[in-house]
Structure 1
Amino acid sequence: MHTHEQYSVASLQVFLSVPFILLFVYYIVALGLSRKKKKPWPAYRVVAWNFGIFFAMLAVIGPIADMAHKDFSAHMISHVLLGMVAPLLMALGAPITLLLRTINVHIARKLTAVLRLRLLHFVQHPITTSLLNIGGLWVLYTTDLFDMMHQNMFLYVIIHVHIFLAGYVFTVSIISIESTPLRKSYLYRTVVFLFALASHAILSKYIYANPPSGVLKAQAELGSMIMYYGGDTVEVGIILILFYQWFKKTRPTFKIEGKDLL
């Protein structure tokens, strides 16, 4: 691994943490405005969002982020937190829905129109997000890109931003926490997710046998196991949420004298 003598690690960490600090502030302000309008917001969404911000910050600033520059296993912990754990928790926070509840109707309609653009539909398509997310990881760990990002500050920032954003759009394309026009069927999303899951697992095994450039074999083996088992844990969470949504959508409803029994 590398020591990053070419640029200041501390300044890099601060730069990467600023967007998450702003997102934390945004959510608190939006939550206050929602309550001011007497529109209650589920507490579990607030908790999920805050924990998502916490894990994202843990990945980009502090001891784990420091070690990630020199130790591949620490880098992989950072990758799982930034690209999988934080996106899932922040997606559960439903930030777009909260935003639409706090702005005036005219602006909300304009924002909704933007969200319906065909370009955004393409970006949010499960196959597109899978290629951006899992495909991006294959490019990162099987080419010289991993070594290059440790030599270039700009490239390092771009890749970490991509890891988070790709993880986020992939997560929301599968579990669809917020209302999305032209949402794909549950079966379709499940099939795409299973292929993505398999590709992620294969990549982790590939890293075990073929360490990225500049990474010691022992670190690559430990890092690949963190990627494999850490990824599995988050993926199980996504599957449970997806199947729960599917069950709620398709469950049979029995009524006696006008009362819903299920």
Structure 2
Amino acid sequence: MTHEHPAGTVDLLAVLGPVVGLVALAAYALAVVASRRRGRSWPLSRSLAWTAGCLTATAAVSGPLATASTMSWTAHMAGHLLLGMLGPLLLVLGGPVTLALRALPVTGARRLSRVLRSRPLRVLTEPSVAAVLDVGGLWLLYATPLLALAHAHPGVGLLVHAHVLLAGHLFSAVMVGRDPLPHRRGTRHLLVVLVLALAAHDVLAKRLYAYGYAPMSMADLPQGAQLMYYGGDAVDLLLAVLVCLRWYRAGGRSGQRQLHLERPRPGPQGVLG
């Protein structure tokens, strides 16, 4: 056995994970209905992306994979990829903020718009800040005793899982989000930050492969580190493709693509419109 959770931690995540997932699915479905009642359709592809994201994130903290992760680093890293990378990307492609703006009453939509223009959100949605919160959080988790502490204390474990999901969501939203943001950096800026984040993620995976994780037994940790390395590269490659796709579509068929590569478009933007 490599790093078994106390029973309280497993039970806490196993219960809260599905509950939060179901609430998120229900809230999204109600928002779709409200949007349609206002005469505004909502793409099925976005609903499917949100549903897949909720299921993916839930599977990372509840069910067979979550149970296996208590005894296997490989399963633990698979959960990390689902909860912190693939799940957040799918949720972002669901366009939840845009849907909320369509579904809320005018007063509520205006309040949400003010939040989107607020100074704290402008700081958080800087690509470099989002990258530090995302990848930096992983370094804090795997390069310090924090992971062992999270396994020993259910409350800490819950906070760690929440951070992994939310930081991954923020990073994906900044890179490829369809929802409005206070500002949107240019393609070159985004790709530079993405490459640096990928490098930091890969260095961390190599560090785990070479040196292990001292506070807890290693067992299949090399295999888990390899999964973290190659799986993270796959998701980041998908992010890069989506960033380039946004640039391509923004440039249209004219000769303006170089302009869009050098300079961001003004105003809130999404990836695919």
What is the TM-score of this pair, normalised by structure 1? 0.92
1:166 corresponds to which residue? 167
Distance change (3 Å), C-alpha of 1:8 and 1:248: closer
Distance 2:149 2:108 in 1: 42
1:124 corresponds to which residue? 125
Q: Which runs of 5 or more structure 1 residues have no equivalent in the other structure?
A: 255-262
Number of aligned residue pairs: 254
Q: RMSD value over aligned CA atoms?
A: 1.5
Q: Which runs of 5 or more structure 2 residues have no equivalent in the other structure?
A: 256-273
C-alpha contact 2:69 2:76 (8 A) present in aligned 1? yes
2:261 corresponds to which residue? none
2:199 corresponds to which residue? 198
C-alpha contact 1:207 1:221 (8 A) present in aligned 2? yes
CA deviations on 1:177-211 (whole Å, 9 max, x unpaired) are 21222211111111111100111111111110111
Instruction: Give percent identity, aligned residues only.
Output: 35
Tell me, what secondary structure is at the counterpart of 1:179? coil
Q: How far did residue 251 of structure 1 move?
A: 3.2
Q: How far did residue 9 of structure 1 move?
A: 2.2
C-alpha contact 1:147 1:213 (8 A) present in aligned 2? no
Distance 1:110 1:217 in 2: 49
Q: How far did residue 6 of structure 1 move?
A: 5.7
Q: How far did residue 154 of structure 1 move?
A: 0.6
C-alpha contact 2:121 2:182 (8 A) present in aligned 1? no
Tell me, what secondary structure is at the counterpart of 1:212? coil
CA deviations on 1:200-234 (whole Å, 9 max, x unpaired) are 11111111011113544441111011111111111
1:65 corresponds to which residue? 66
1:93 corresponds to which residue? 94
1:259 corresponds to which residue? none
Q: Aligned ranges for residues 38-53 of structure 1 at < 5 Å?
A: 38-53=39-54
2:141 corresponds to which residue? 140
Residue type at the aligned position of 1:57: T
2:262 corresponds to which residue? none
C-alpha contact 2:47 2:94 (8 A) present in aligned 1? yes
1:175 corresponds to which residue? 176
Tell me, what secondary structure is at the counterpart of 1:150? helix
Residue type at the aligned position of 1:44: S
Tell me, what secondary structure is at the counterpart of 1:222? helix
Tell me, what secondary structure is at the counterpart of 2:195? helix
What is the TM-score of this pair, normalised by structure 2? 0.89
